[in-house]
Amino acid sequence: MKRALPTIVHLDADAFFVSVEQSLDPSLRGKKVAVGGRVRGIVASASYEARACGVYTPMPVSQALRVCPDLVLVSHANGMSRYSEFSAKMFALCETVTPYVECRSIDEGFMDIGPRGFKDEATAVAAVRELQGRILRELGLPVSFGMAATKVVSAIASKQNKPRGFTVVPAGAEADFLAPLPIGVLPGIGKKTEVLLKANGIARVGDLPAQNGSLLASLLGRDWRGWVATALGEDDAEVGTVHEDAKSYSQQETFPRDIGDFAEVLRVAKGMIDALLPKVRADGKTARTLTIKVRYPGMEDDSAGRSLLEPSDLEAPFYVLAEPLLRTAWRRVRSPLRLVMVKLSGIAEPAVQMELFAEKSDADARKRKLAAVVDSLNAQTNGTALQHGFHAQTHH
């Protein structure tokens, strides 16, 4: 259904890791600051002052120090838990505006404020402006916002006036907003395609729908009509509809009787994490996003998902997410549950993990060895050694 107001909000924190460090140590504000590893490191985040000096991400730290000798380098080595904590607080503030929050990464996500029933654009904008101010005041984090009637357009809008941007695309004005922007802003247009399109006279988004179908088919393939729709700002994806990966791992449990006890449901959810990670490891993959879905006796569902900064094939990082996610997902706190589902998505090969985390890998290698021992023990005993007490379905 077409929205009458720009009630899909995309937020994207500005220079997130650096902003967290600056929030914790105000003496770093206004300086050329980068977060990265000193050993075999790359720049994971750079302040806007450092960017003006030629530092970008990802750039080897050694090169960054060459182009910008007075760069203040902050090690990310101990920062991961701090970054996750700030991220959780930022999304918690979003959840005071609407329960429909979809985290796409540690510092980026969508919100659907449509269900708030704002009477006009101005009141919707005021609510999001207030959230932007609150995140800056309470967490010290500058965040850019885009508001539009569709997800793709709101995500492009949030990138327009960084840092501390705030761009509103009125409902119905999507195509006009996109038309003058460079073609590369469309999600999914890679560098190679961009060069190809430009060589064929398609430099701006508005040039794409104006071209004839056979040219577009030769440049973009069979799905060229989808690209035309995207370029016109037509997209009906909903917030919270997690993008389906080629593969995900999930498990669900329908309780023999409805359960209202938080600790009991959490124990079941953690048991599912225990059951799923060995499968992820056995396939040689890593997972990034944990989603928990709950179902009430009336068959209505609620869910919540969050992504790790660093994809993992270990149980521990997902355990940490389980409790806050279950709390967020279980919105009708007074209702018992009929079903709980745990899903791991964002599945990838460990080989594509970011070099940034190379320094941590020794400790992880030890944990992985231990996990492999437990997996093989479980395999020998048909899984009874560490099995949890529920029968659950597995879907791949």
| Burial of residue 267, with CB atoms counted within 10 A of its CB: 0-12 exposed, 13-18 middle, 19 or more buried | middle
If one asks whether residue 142 binds Mg ion (CB under 5 A), the answer comes out as no
If one asks whether residue 141 binds Mg ion (CB under 5 A), the answer comes out as no
List, in sequence order, the alpha helices (H) in the chain: 16-24, 48-52, 61-67, 80-94, 121-139, 151-158, 174-178, 191-199, 207-210, 213-220, 224-231, 262-282, 315-329, 361-380
Give the number of C-alpha atoms closer than 13 A to the C-alpha of residue 323, restricted to the C-beta side. 5
**Residue 105 C-beta: closest distance to Mg ion, Å:** 8
Contact flags string 69-108 toward Mg ion, x per CB under 5 A: --------------------------------------x-
Relative to beta strand 301-312, strand 33-36 is unpaired
**Residue 126 C-beta: closest distance to Mg ion, Å:** 24
Nearer to Mg ion, 83 or 318 (CB): 83
- In angstroms, the CA 163 to CA 379 distance is 51
**Residue 17 C-beta: closest distance to Mg ion, Å:** 9
**Residue 12 C-beta: closest distance to Mg ion, Å:** 4
108 has catalytic annotation: yes
**Residue 171 C-beta: closest distance to Mg ion, Å:** 26
**Residue 356 C-beta: closest distance to Mg ion, Å:** 15
Nearer to Mg ion, 107 or 364 (CB): 107
- In angstroms, the CA 72 to CA 293 distance is 43
Dihedrals φ, ψ of 258, to 5°? -65, 140
With CB under 5 A as the rule, give the number of residues binding Mg ion.
3
Relative to beta strand 101-105, strand 108-112 is antiparallel
- In angstroms, the CA 384 to CA 252 distance is 19
Contact flags string 9-48 toward Mg ion, x per CB under 5 A: ---xx-----------------------------------
Q: Are 206 and 221 contacting, i.e. CB atoms less than 8 angstroms apart?
A: no
If one asks whether residue 274 binds Mg ion (CB under 5 A), the answer comes out as no
Nearer to Mg ion, 108 or 253 (CB): 108
Nearer to Mg ion, 141 or 231 (CB): 141
Nearer to Mg ion, 13 or 220 (CB): 13
Q: Which of 102, 108, 174, 253 is catalytic?
A: 108
Nearer to Mg ion, 49 or 107 (CB): 107
If one asks whether residue 302 binds Mg ion (CB under 5 A), the answer comes out as no
Residue 161 per-residue DSSP state: T
- Minimal CA–CA distance to 314: which of 251, 367, 375, 355? 367
If one asks whether residue 364 binds Mg ion (CB under 5 A), the answer comes out as no
- Point out which residues bind Mg ion (CB under 5 A): 12-13, 107
Active site residues: 108
